[in-house]
Amino acid sequence: MQVWNDYMLQNKERFLDELLDLLRIPSVSADSAYKADVARCADAVKENLLKAGVDKAEICPTDGHPIVYGEKIVDPSLPTVLVYGHYDVQPADPLELWHSGPFEPVIKDGKIFARGACDDKGQMFMHVKAFELMAKTDSLACNVKFMIEGEEEVGSSNLGIFLEKNKGRLKADIVLVSDTSMISMEHPSLETGLRGLAYMEVEVVGPNRDLHSGVYGGAVANPINILCKMIASLHDENNHITIPTFYDKVDELTTAERTALNTAPFDLKEYQDELGIKEVWGEKGYTTLERTGTRPTLDVNGIWGGYTGEGAKTVLPSKASAKISMRLVPHQTSDEISALFQKHFESIAPAGVTVKVTAHHGGEPVVTPTDSIAYKAAAKAIQTSFGKDPIPTRGGGSIPIVALFESTLGLKTVLMGFGLDNDNIHSPNEKYDVANYYKGIETIPYFHKYFAEMSK
Ligand code: BES
Ligand code: MN
Ligand code: MN
């Protein structure tokens, strides 16, 4: 629409500057040293919503970090879009690998480099700017509610409680989220699913103190050796997970579904080259797209124990630990899989050690419909702004709250992400292409327009 294009052209630089301001706030939710910064970021989001034209916005305190809520009710008879996003970010370490400060955003080669540039400040803020564009040009087709949280990266546990307590206020027709990836600017796509997550921590304890590895080595079980062996046994020679009954509830895709999934553009050589690996790895019998989109996985996220300082220390350590996460697919539940893991891991421990298993936060998998009005509106919005129909894909990441939108609020979600898989989210040198940021702001108003038209 011409008014939108004009408004965009006149305000482009400011849209970018305002995002950079938000990226300067180190809103790291996992680290309590940043608590005040997280709160400051929530305030900044609230102020941005007010400036953009919401009727009201407020900071909703929780037992953890605050949630920012804002709304504009244009006309109660219009459909309502609930926009969800998060303003918290992952820790920036390892700092030495960043080419510029994680909270000192720079633009290089058309890309914004900063922690949160893509995940999720950049993507969340597209909705604030798209809303401003619609509000200031008097073209809001739907009522809009914003719920922007500060604890997504630590499991959204307080947001679940907020949903329960605010069912009335959060009444809407659809949840719209930009916190996922698309294939590329040439091949726009819409994710139609997210994996669930079961996150475990394990500790293996051997002797009651660290020992001299010469005096005792070979005679006493070394907890690190044992832990490594136990972890290695969790995959078989075909890279299947060996936990009994782990796959029992996993649906096999039909041949037609597999064919459809694998028609998405994907270049294995490019994928490998970009990651600096000679070969991909994974469950035998499945393609890379199937492995990341439709199959459950088990990965060690961290492992520690013994001596890791400078030089050599001949020690037989008393303890070893690891953090292990599993990505889940439909019909697997995080509680059930956590329990299976715990039982299995304890059962494979040799007598010379004791094993402690604890579960961290989890999340349930989701599949979003592709035959709904909302999906069709998103597809048409992308067709309008990109000139191409989006390809439906299955995403490998997790946004645990999405399953609760359905179970608590009865709401379906549209995952309209504009990130790219190589945006380095959670990694040093996270980036978001300025072009993707602007494309998102351009596309979102069409979603509101088409969703309202198709809902009539
Ligand atoms: N935005 C991501 C999830 C994501 C990324 C989905 C890319 C699809 C494509 C989200 O912020 C995230 O990082 N989620 C965590 C889970 C959370 C409980 C820490 C994840 O997937 O590891
Ligand atoms: Mn995210
Ligand atoms: Mn994230």
Same domain for 200 and 188? no
Residue 361 confidence (pLDDT): 85
Are 38 and 158 within 8 A, CB to CB? no
Does the CB atom of residue 397 touch ligand 1 within 6 A? yes
**Per-residue model confidence as pLDDT tens digits over 327-356:** 999 999 999 999 999 999 999 999 999 999
Any domain includes 262: no
What is the C-alpha to C-alpha distance for residues 290 and 202, in angstroms, rounded to an integer?
29
Any domain includes 279: no
**Per-residue model confidence as pLDDT tens digits over 392-444:** 999 899 999 999 999 999 999 999 999 999 999 999 999 999 999 999 999 99
Same domain for 187 and 227? no
Gap between the terminal Cα atoms of the chain: 20
Total number of domains constituting the chain: 2
Q: How far is CA 22 from CA 40, 42, 87, 110, 155, in A?
A: 10, 10, 9, 18, 22
Same domain for 95 and 187? yes
Q: Span 219-243, mean pLDDT?
A: 98
Any domain includes 260: no
Does the CB atom of residue 179 touch ligand 1 within 6 A? yes
Are 295 and 396 within 8 A, CB to CB? no
Same domain for 163 and 218? no
Residue 227 tokens, joined? 């832990």
Residue 167 confidence (pLDDT): 97
Return the ∠ at Cα 416 (arms to 414 and 417), rounded to 5°. 140
pTM of the model as a whole: 0.95
Domain with residue 446: its CATH number is 3.40.630.10
Ligand nearest to the CA of 122: 2
Whether 152 is catalytic: yes
Same domain for 74 and 85? yes
Range of the domain at 49: 2-194+365-455
Same domain for 401 and 348? no
Same domain for 207 and 90? no
Same domain for 227 and 206? yes
Same domain for 11 and 149? yes
Atom of ligand 1 nearest to the CA of 154: 19
In degrees to the nearest 10, what's the CA dihedral of 75, 76, 77, 78?
A: 60
Res. 56 pLDDT band, cuts 50 70 90? very high
| Residue with CA closest to ligand 1 atom 20 | 398
Does the CB atom of residue 155 touch ligand 1 within 6 A? yes
What is the C-alpha to C-alpha distance for residues 196 and 106, in angstroms, rounded to an integer?
34
